Structure 1
Amino acid sequence: MATGMPVRRRYLVIQLRRLRHAAKMTQDEVWKALGWGRAKIQRLEAGEFQRVKAGDIMALCQLYSAPEAVAEELVQIARDSRTDKPWWLQYQDVLPGAFVGLEAEATMIQEFNIGLVPGLLQTEPYIRALLAPSIGNTEEQANLRLESRLERQNKVLGRSEPALFFAVIDEAAIRRQVGGPDVMRGQIEHLLEMSRRPNVEIQILPFSAGAHAAGGLPFTVLSFSDGNSADSVVFLESRGDGFYLESQEEIHRHRLIFSRTQGSALSVGESADFLGSLIG
């Protein structure tokens, strides 16, 4: 999938692949039925296109007997993608556009993190401290990264209808002195403040929990629409744009892992008490 591709088009591609599989059709059967060339459906499902036509999406939805509501949504995405420019494009040199875009469209986010506070919950001083030691990071790039991360927070949690955000944070991330005691105190106070929002739940996974379902591997489940497995994707972070798991089996597995990790963590109330105890 092309890096920086507008997120709703990426979501469109995911949905089209799932609709084709549900219709039990191969790519060859599709292009022959529609009178297309083989390369067209291959490029479409790989996300290797610059422009997508609403008529093509409508034809695919009709062929797959997609529910009317689903077809309308995907056709509208195709129309919008030809005119709308997502906010993160101005930061495409410093942000993994595909993930940030998906995150911006998600209606529910479930994140397990280990070594660091989740990006959506980081304070400006905390972000500055993280960026300071970055290898090959010029001052201009650092400032742009900071600006982009703050804008990302605003677009996801500050919008009029923000996503539901469930975070399980390993105690190690809270204990790690990023930027020193003053920065961490401000960061913990910010976590407490964010936890009071009706759409945000923060749980701390204490050292005392021992081994747990997540097994030390951070991941994020992004859900769209009504949040079922067909409208979700799992993101595994890496140095580049990361990896995306889209099969319903993987999505269900990671949701189960997240649920069990939540069960091993302190409750929301206990987590708030724990955070409060760290700052007196």
Structure 2
Amino acid sequence: MAMGMPVRRRHLIIQLKRLRNEAGLSQDEAWKLVGWSRAKLQRLEAGDFQRVKAGDIMALCQIYNADKAVAEELIQIARDSRKETPWWFQYKDVLPGTFIGLEAEATLIQDYAIALIPGLLQTRDYTAALMNTSTDVPKQEVRQRLEIRAERQRSVLDREQPPMLMTVIDEAAVRRQIGGPETMREQIQHLIELSERPSVDIQVLPFSAGAHAAAGIPFTILGFDGANAAGSVVYLETHKDGFYLDSDTEIARHRLIFSRTQGSAMSVEDSRDFLERLNS
């Protein structure tokens, strides 16, 4: 799989930790052996970097006695990180962590939304209405953020090989009048049109479904290798940023939750009919 830097960076970090553990070294032992400061190795293993030197990765692979093929792969990732600048990097001051980069590399996106339409599916006017009422978005940043959102949508939905996007949207989100009736009418029509794409499945979870597996907690599963849990991450959004779950257990659990929530929702076809009736 061809991966851009955000996902490859995750892979790099995971592999370096694995190699250190297999070598039987603690962080303190490793940074002393390689001649670094404790903080440098801690930052590296925490993923707190945008660029990494190939020489640093080579040095770690040597003290970890890494297999030649593994070492070459990790060194190449480091070299690539010095050259590649994804589109979203210029907006790093106003983007939610690494989520945008991960989303742009995903091959499968499974999204459960409650109160609002998911960002990838929002129209410009809908997004503007949200931002104009937000206490966290300065007025002078609204236009920039709208441009970012539009670029984000294009980079995911309109790329040559778009990811499979499977979204379950609570009925509350499509009934909530964000921006007024005309804005919502346009937004719902946009959902209808997107649902006709072969790579987009949109299901509405009706009020009549009652209690359901997701239990009112929104989440997004980003898959980078089909149904393989090892190539996935669960993102739980918080007020300012969000956090990630990447253990096989959590990924499998959230995929089960998503599958059962899909079962409680209307089918893709019935959801499209529901949205059309809502807009009539």
TM-score by length of 2: 0.86
Using a 3 Å threshold, how does the CA distance of structure 1 residues 209 and 67 change in structure 2: closer, same or farther?
farther
CA distance in 2, matches of 1:72, 1:167: 38
* Residue 31 (structure 1) aligns with: 30
Per-residue CA deviations over 1:97-116 (Å, capped at 9, x if unaligned) read 41111111111111101000
Does the Cα contact within 8 Å between 2:214 and 2:261 map onto a contact in 1?
yes
Instruction: Read off the aligned partner of 2:161 and give its amino acid letter.
Output: E
SS of residue in 2 equivalent to 1:109: strand
Using a 3 Å threshold, how does the CA distance of structure 1 residues 25 and 246 change in structure 2: closer, same or farther?
farther
**1:179 lines up with 2:195 in the alignment:** no
CA distance in 2, matches of 1:67, 1:274: 56
**1:7 lines up with 2:14 in the alignment:** no
Does the Cα contact within 8 Å between 2:125 and 2:179 map onto a contact in 1?
yes
CA distance in 2, matches of 1:169, 1:231: 25
CA distance in 2, matches of 1:75, 1:232: 23
**1:82 lines up with 2:94 in the alignment:** no
Using a 3 Å threshold, how does the CA distance of structure 1 residues 271 and 143 change in structure 2: closer, same or farther?
same
Does the Cα contact within 8 Å between 2:10 and 2:47 map onto a contact in 1?
no
SS of residue in 2 equivalent to 1:178: coil
CA displacement at 1:185 relative to structure 2: 1.0
The answer to which of 53-62 and 218-227 deviates more is 53-62
* Residue 228 (structure 2) aligns with: 228
Does the Cα contact within 8 Å between 1:12 and 1:77 map onto a contact in 2?
no
Using a 3 Å threshold, how does the CA distance of structure 1 residues 194 and 84 change in structure 2: closer, same or farther?
same
Does the Cα contact within 8 Å between 1:195 and 1:202 map onto a contact in 2?
yes
CA displacement at 1:23 relative to structure 2: 4.6
Query: Sequence identity of aligned pairs in percent?
Result: 57
Per-residue CA deviations over 1:236-273 (Å, capped at 9, x if unaligned) read 10122211112111111111111111111111111111
CA distance in 2, matches of 1:139, 1:207: 35
Using a 3 Å threshold, how does the CA distance of structure 1 residues 223 and 14 change in structure 2: closer, same or farther?
farther
* Residue 3 (structure 1) aligns with: none
Does the Cα contact within 8 Å between 2:96 and 2:240 map onto a contact in 1?
yes
TM-score by length of 1: 0.86
* Residue 116 (structure 2) aligns with: 116
CA distance in 2, matches of 1:153, 1:73: 31
* Residue 202 (structure 1) aligns with: 202
Instruction: Read off the aligned partner of 2:15 and give its amino acid letter.
Output: L
* Residue 135 (structure 1) aligns with: 135
Please list every run of 5 or more consecutive structure 1 residues that lacks an aligned counterpart in the other structure: 1-5
Using a 3 Å threshold, how does the CA distance of structure 1 residues 92 and 218 change in structure 2: closer, same or farther?
same
Does the Cα contact within 8 Å between 1:108 and 1:224 map onto a contact in 2?
yes
Please list every run of 5 or more consecutive structure 2 residues that lacks an aligned counterpart in the other structure: none
CA distance in 2, matches of 1:104, 1:83: 18
Structure 1 segment 252-263 matched on structure 2, within 5 A: 252-263=252-263
* Residue 107 (structure 2) aligns with: 107
Does the Cα contact within 8 Å between 2:13 and 2:44 map onto a contact in 1?
no
